[in-house]
Amino acid sequence: MIAAVVALAAAVVVLLFVIPGTDRRQTDAGSSPSPSRVTPTASSTPTPTRTAGTDNGSSPSARPSEVPVVTPEPVPMPTPTAEDPVPPAASVTVTRAGQNGATISVSAFVAGVTEDGGTCTLELVGASTAGATSTAFADATTTICGPLSVSARTLAAGTYTATVSYRSDTSSGTSQPVDVEVTR
């Protein structure tokens, strides 16, 4: 209880003696300010004081000081575009490309990127065109694409150029073309 009274008294002292712009003298209505010092007391009802320049018998203005209200401007949302932005370039390398029985299989990795979930796309271009996609997965230090497979039965015999492209939210890239011989 004593600690609460001491804390309240300290708060009153701070309010009376520290806050700039407050008059530290208490006056009665109609009398002049006295140079005597007022001793703070704990009270649940505040005691009104006069401010400098209002000792003309009139009461101080009852109007509170006006505080400007700042209304934040709305932030425009970006408009989606038809084209997705291209993520930074990644180095895609084909590690294996060839025919195994009735399947053309191509594997690749993405150097410097270690993430799951990107999309790997194989494109075979030659006498006809074919392609395949797969979801990439993280390896110890790279991202793996593959194997990407296309049925050799859907292609005419001949030499095809295989390229593997990789795309994710963080990177994208396309391998150098690699020749694949398709036989029937």
- Of 31-40, 76-85, 94-103, the range with the lowest mean pLDDT is 31-40
Percentage helix, strand, coil, to 5, in the chain?
A: 10, 35, 55
CATH code of the domain made up of 91-182: 2.60.40.10
Strands of 137-138's sheet in order across: 91-100, 103-111, 142-151, 137-138
Closest to 119 measured CA to CA, from 163, 172, 176: 172
What is d(CA 182, CA 124) in angstroms, rounded to the nearest whole number? Answer: 11
**pTM recorded for the entire structure:** 0.54
Q: Is the model's pLDDT at 29 over the cut of 60?
A: no
| CA dihedral sign of residues 64, 66, 67, 70 | positive
- For residue 175, the SS3 value is coil
Extents of the domains making up the chain:
1-29+36-47, 91-182
pLDDT tens per residue, range 127-172:
999 999 999 999 999 999 989 999 999 999 999 999 999 999 999 9
